[in-house]
Structure 1
Amino acid sequence: MDVATTPYENAPEAPMSPRERQVSEFTALTRTVQEAGLMRRRYGYYWTRFVVLTLLLAGIGVAFVLIGDSWWQLALAAVLSLVLGQVMFLGHDAAHRQIFRSGRWNDWASLVIANLYAGMSYGWWNHKHSRHHAKPNQVGADPDIDSGALVFTTEDLPEARTGMAAWFAERQGWLFFPLLLLEGLNLHVSGVKTIFGRGEVKRRPVEMVFVTLRLGGYLALVFWVLPVGMAFAFLGVQLALFGLYMGAVFAPNHKGMPIVPKDAKIDFLRRQVLMSRNVKGGRVIDEFMGGLNYQIEHHLFPNMARPHLRRVQPIVREFCASRGIAYSETTMLKSYGIVIRYLNRVGLAARDPFQCPLTLEYRSAR
């Protein structure tokens, strides 16, 4: 036997199981992305955004006091809702460990940005959002499709619904965006209930202090500068448009994509790609949606810095095409149409559940 070889060198490779093959695919994609330098940090980008948003909030505060008792304050409330939306996108990036290498630094950045700047609970949101990322659109696992005012799966729509409940369910697609006007209030209330209740929160005392300072100071300023009626109008406009903005950005990402049965087993790559939808539209949409228009790439690489999502998209799209993995992308308006039709279909077709043909073949994958 040639001493330079071993009996194993020329032996055929052992066949891989479906699970091993799928893991190998994602490993190959990850290696390509890392070699392209797209996992590096972007400190300059994030510090610039933080400073700009801080100055914008300070400027809005000064303008609010200078404008005083005037209905022009409602226009300022609309501007504030957009700026706070951008603040939450920055908090989202910090929560995903996109900004700093240190997890502790990212946690504190999230606390300052979400709790102190926006009056939202980072701990409440992060716990909920992490579950969503782990199993997007999976029944019983993704909290974003749990039934509430709206029903996202036919499993949660009993045929026994009658009267007003049935009327609402049949039209829930058309009512979705009007209901988002209440989402801003709901986000604040849910966070406050969690940090002052028994919900799972990592740094409860810090969250309590930050949220109390932010919401208490905000309300005190509004009612000090404006008459009571105008103050309530200002708060109503700001919260309504903030909720609409957040919902309009997050809704296209997964609503109307396949719903995964409870017992489905899918590899990470396909789970994240098949259940997500990108929104195209160029730099304006990138800014408006805080980079979340690259939802597929964000779900595959959640700790990737936001500026790199645009650059990694062609790599991911080509990779999916080479392996026959459906890659969903559409315009914002078309995505809203898909969301409305899907929600209406869930409400109208309780006896014809929406199934996920794309996931059935992966149920047995181990």
Structure 2
Amino acid sequence: MLIAALLAVVSAQLAFLGHDAGHKQIFRTRRPNDALGTLHGGLIGMSYQSWISGHNRHHANPNHEEHDPDLDIAALAFTRGQASRKQGFLRWMAKHQAVLFFPLLTLEGLSLHASGIRSVWRGETRARCLEGALLVAHTVGYLAAVFLVLSPGVAGLFAVVHQALWGVYMGCSFAPNHKGMPTMTGESPDFLRKQVLTSRNIRGGRFTDFLLGGLNYQIEHHLFPSMPRPHLRHAQPIVRRFCAAHGISYRETGLVQSYREVLRHLHETGAPLRARTV
């Protein structure tokens, strides 16, 4: 089980490298970046091409209720408008989403796998044949390796622990970046404010940089998405001073505090649904 936990960390770090490749941070041109990103997507069992398509839409309109796909998650409501439109079981989940948030993250890894398979099946990726072959190879290789080495019961538990912890790691890396920050509807402000006001940085040193894959410099990353990860920490003081000089709110907090803010926002968003009807 400790190896399963370690493999979850390795899977997340591979995903971070795929993210860097998607933003052309590693090579100067798109083709080698896409090749590396597709390879890393195959290693962890997801469709790089379909993921980067949605991720680019997120970067264009972060925290925009109508245009950001990262706010379009059926199991959660990030605005009261979204909460009011939930029906049935999803409405119940929205009522208690702050409590359910971390348990739901255990399914994030499976969601990435399922999303990749669905995209390949529907032809929503530019490299359908290649990514389809990589997903099949990943699934067959992963299951064969686990079930050949371990007994069936232990192998199943290994897979559950690995996938659950990977999902939690991924969710805990991405959630602090925008969740609980201002959301937008209709026409957005200028590029600078759109990116800065909706993003949150996480304080920390080089260990935090490694732990979060550079996503702790979310403001700088959104302003300069192709900037290689190691340079973001050097750009931060320049961006911070610029925002202070122009009266633009620059949000930076500790990792634990960021989770508090995310959970508080989810709790407040679901509050109207918990209120008794008079």
Task: Name 1:248's counterpart in structure 2.
Answer: 172
* 8 Å Cα contact 1:280/1:332 also seen in 2: yes
Superposed CA offset, 1:205-253 (max 9, x none):
1111112112211111111111111111000000000000000000000
Q: Distance in 1 between matches of 2:76 and 2:82?
A: 10
Equivalent residues of 2:86, 2:94 under 8 A apart: no
Whole-angstrom CA distance in 2 between matches of 1:288 and 1:169 = 29
Q: How does 1:135-146 map to 2 (within 5 A)?
A: 135-146=61-72
Distance 1:166 1:121 in 2: 30
Report the RMSD for the aligned CA atoms in angstroms. 1.7
TM-score between both structures, scaled by the size of structure 1: 0.73
Alignment: residue pair count? 275
Q: In the alignment, which of 55, 60, 65 is matched to residue 129 of structure 1?
A: 55
Give the Cα separation in 1 of the matches to 2:176 and 2:256. 9
1:175 paired to 2:138: no
Question: Where does residue 14 of structure 1 map in the other structure?
Answer: none
| Contact 1:100–1:106, Cα closer than 8 Å, also in 2 | yes
Post-superposition CA distance 1:297-335 (Å, at most 9, x none):
000000000000000000000011110000000000000
Determine whether 1:118 maps to 2:44: yes
Matched position secondary structure for 1:349: helix
Residues 39-78 of structure 1 aligned to structure 2 (within 5 Å) = 74-78=1-5
- Partner residue of 1:337? 260
2:95/2:274 contact within 8 Å kept: no
Match of 2:75 among 149, 155, 172: 149
Gaps of 5+ in 2: none
How far has the Cα of 1:197 moved from its partner? 2.0
Q: Structure 1 regions of 5+ residues with no counterpart?
A: 1-73, 353-366
Instruction: Check if 1:90 corresponds to 2:17.
Output: yes
Q: Residues of 2 paired with 1:167 and 1:84: CA distance?
A: 32
- Residue number in structure 1 paired with 2:216: 293
SS in 1 for 2:107: helix
Structure 1 CA distance, aligned partners of 2:87 and 2:56? 32
Higher helix proportion: 2
Cα 1:347–1:220 change in 2 (3 A) is same
Match of 2:138 among 178, 191, 214: 214
8 A Cα contact 2:75 2:90, kept in partner: no
Aligned counterpart, 1:267: 190
Alpha-carbon shift at residue 166 of structure 1 (Å): 4.6
Q: C-alpha distance in 1, partners of 2:86/2:143?
A: 43
Q: Is the 8 A contact 2:74 2:90 kept in 1?
A: no
Residue 322 of structure 1 pairs with residue 245 of structure 2: yes
Q: Percent identity?
A: 50
Q: CA deviation at 1:351?
A: 11
Separation of aligned partners in 1, 2:108 and 2:86: 27
Report which of the two structures shows the higher radius of gyration computed on alpha carbons: 1
Amino acid at match of 1:141: H
- Paired with 1:129 and 1:275, the residues of 2 have a C-alpha distance of 15
Q: Is 1:169–1:348's contact at 8 Å kept on the other side of the alignment?
A: no
Q: 1:122 to 1:161 in 2, by over 3 A?
A: closer
CA-to-aligned-CA distance 1:247-277 (integer Å, 9 cap, x gap): 000000000000101x123111110000000
CA displacement at 1:139 relative to structure 2: 1.2
TM-score normalized with structure 2 length:
0.95
